[in-house]
Structure 1
Amino acid sequence: MRSQVDFPAPCKKHLPTKNVGNFGRAIPQRFRSPLRTQRHRTGIGEKTSVTTTTTTIKDELQEDERWKEMTLYLLSTVLERDSLWGLVDPRRVHGAHIRHNAQHVGKHGIVTLEDKTGDLPQWVLSALRSLSHWRGTDGLYEGFERDVFRSVIDYFQKLPEPLLTYHLYSLFSRILVKHPTCEATALLAVQLLCLLLPPWQRRYLQLLLRTAARLCSNVDLPPLEPGLGTRALVVENLSPALLRSPNGGEGDETLNHALTSFLLDHADEVTQVPAELLVQLAQHHKTHSSLQLQKQEREGKGKQHSSASRSTESRRKALPQIKPPLLKYLARHLRQLPGLH
């Protein structure tokens, strides 16, 4: 299999050279803690700003946790399990990733990255775009499209980790086994699992799946391998780039190919945010807001009662204090007034 750097001269001339052959590029760093980021941005001595920032960060972390809890709860329900313990480590599931994947998307539904250095190299993006919109007259020489395809597959297969990640291997490999006859249930489970991916891996997955699906349906594309259909070739080469066993090897090849075929069939759907999750979150937010409002009302009434008590005490203390001798003087003179006897 030829890599990008082995392209013949006519092919190299028409492809971007930036990052060409950079198959071993480092995986982007995990999202930095928002608390750490804000701590560096806030000046020393800005007490009001620090208090506001701390409150905002606390709210953000609580919201991240709600997304995580709801997603895992719905996933366990779909898989008909009381718990996901033993299948996924909750400590490796980040609510911030789930929220980002759901809320930061472009007009075509592809997740966007805040850190652009974590995106695919420009030559890979160009190659994917070329394959997605391939026409019969695009080839510069015979076999040009095959070289582009192999170069892209080679890049994804050489990433340090498959796109569906090692720690989600057990869950992904069980989906089609547990729901072989219920496509809607399997699709919902895959949608929830894809939300757990780090944003950069979710973006890579979206771009690769959509390109592969268009390749399989492109009637103008010449055969990429003599004697082998385009779809069969795509599934065979795409499978190890998507899912590999963390114990080494590709795992169950039949299951991996079945999952890859399922992903290709639903390339535009698997990374959509499930409506069921959004409904659950909306109901949770409604309940939480109602409880918060009740709490604020109770606290407000308590403050009003306390304020009224303090006001009464203040008025009592403000009354003039009459000394005993003066009281005797006033009493004696009042008794001398006519009509008081």
Structure 2
Amino acid sequence: MITRVTALPKLFIGIDIHKRSWKIHCSTDLFAGKSFTMPPDPNELLKYVQKHFPDHQVSTAYEAGCCGYSAHRSFVSFGWESLVVNPADIHRKGKERYTKTDRIDAQLISRELKDGRLQSIIVPDIEREELRSLFRRRNDLVKDLRRIKSLIKMQLLYYGVKVPPEFDNDHWSHEFRHWVDSQEFEYGTARESLASKMRDFRFTDKELRDISSKLRAYCRTHFKQDYYLLRSIPGIGGIVAVGIIAELGDLRRFSSLKHLAGYIGLAPNIYESGANSKSKGMNPRCHRLIRSYFVEAAWQAIRTDPVMQTYYRQHLGKDVKKIIVKVAHKLLSRTLAVIKTKTPYEIGVVA
């Protein structure tokens, strides 16, 4: 009797990626395999596979994290199937939830990959990934600017310097900045401390403005259609539009509003058992930055769009936070609609 190979043997590689080393676990469709440590280099893994598992159909998976997608792109270039997975999607049984090592993590990834229970996150293309990097740099600058402002106000308060009523707000006008520069103290050291903070403030403020301008200009050039479609929606300004393009990618990939709302986190977290059912607030698994952007945009939308104002007033008397989340969900629906239909939004028209 002659036996024939009817399918390629399969190799499943689970990788726990770190900066200095990778923990690898290899298993096939016939045996559980082995674990070992190797340098963090995709080409080294390729050499190992070519030596020990020639003619195998290779699938790899690793957790999304600080090491990005360069390894994934290398594996794809080798002709392998590669998944980058959310760590929360890796199922742990029993005591596996209480025991964590790099070796165990690699074994779990390999096991879940072999059983077909893993689903990859959306890996952005290089252009959008680098746009996202600049957008996140802007958000870091926003946090730095808030911190520096707080430090300056703390020093004024500490030394008993009262801010004039016309300057006592969140907007730091040029007049207020000149007023801060003009403050005198008994000794020069306190003055120099405040001057140093003001130099830091001016540098960060300029960086924030420059990067914001570059982000808007880039999206106007390279994502012109989507950028202006998003800008047509009341409440969505230039930076929010850039954030949607950079962080969410092409919204057309979302099959439905439910899919998009679940991804961002504007969907309720529901617990149901038998006759008992209750909502536990917004889902903690979310894209926190974009969710916060949509909530902020919702406040602006109810000021500028009559349709949103009417919708908001229909729910008056309820918890304000819950109402604004409803408005944000409606704004999200509007966002998906204008992108998919390629039709700019018209104020006053019910969406």
Could you say which TM-score interval applies, normalised by the shorter chain?
Answer: under 0.3
Q: Which has the higher strand share?
A: 2
More relative contact order in 1 or in 2 (CA 8 Å, sep 6+)?
Answer: 1
Relative to total residues, which structure has the larger helix share, 1 or 2?
Answer: 1
| Rg larger in structure | 1
TM-score when normalising by structure 2: 0.22
TM-score normalised by L of structure 1: 0.22
